[in-house]
Amino acid sequence: MNAPFFNRVLSLLAAILLCLLPTPGGNAAQGEPAIAISPQKIAVNSFYHGTDIELTGTVTAGCKVAVVLMGKEEEQTLRRKGRVGPLWMNVETVTVKRVPQMYYLLTSTETVKELASMELLAKHDIGYEALRESVVIEQESSDYDATFREFIKLKESMGLYKALYSSITLEPLNENFSEFAVALPVPPLVPPGEFSVLMHCFKENQLISNATGKLTVEKIGLPAKLSALAFNHAAAYGILAIAVAVAAGLFMGFLFGKKEKGGK
Total residue count of the chain as it appears in this document = 264
Rounded-to-integer distance, Cα 242 and Cα 199, Å: 45
Rounded-to-integer distance, Cα 264 and Cα 262, Å: 6
Nearest CA to 71 among 182, 172, 178, 193? 193
Rounded-to-integer distance, Cα 185 and Cα 180, Å: 17
Rounded-to-integer distance, Cα 198 and Cα 50, Å: 22
pLDDT tens across the length of the chain (264 residues)? 454 554 454 454 444 444 444 433 344 445 578 999 999 999 999 889 999 999 999 999 999 999 999 999 999 988 877 777 777 777 778 999 999 999 999 999 999 999 999 999 999 999 999 999 999 999 887 788 999 999 999 999 999 999 999 999 999 999 999 999 999 999 999 999 999 999 999 999 999 999 999 999 998 876 554 555 444 545 554 565 566 566 666 656 665 665 555 555
Write the DSSP symbol of residue 159. T
pTM greater than 0.75 (yes/no):
no
The dihedral sign for the CA sequence 99, 104, 107, 110: positive
Count other C-beta atoms under 10 Å from residue 96's C-beta.
Answer: 20
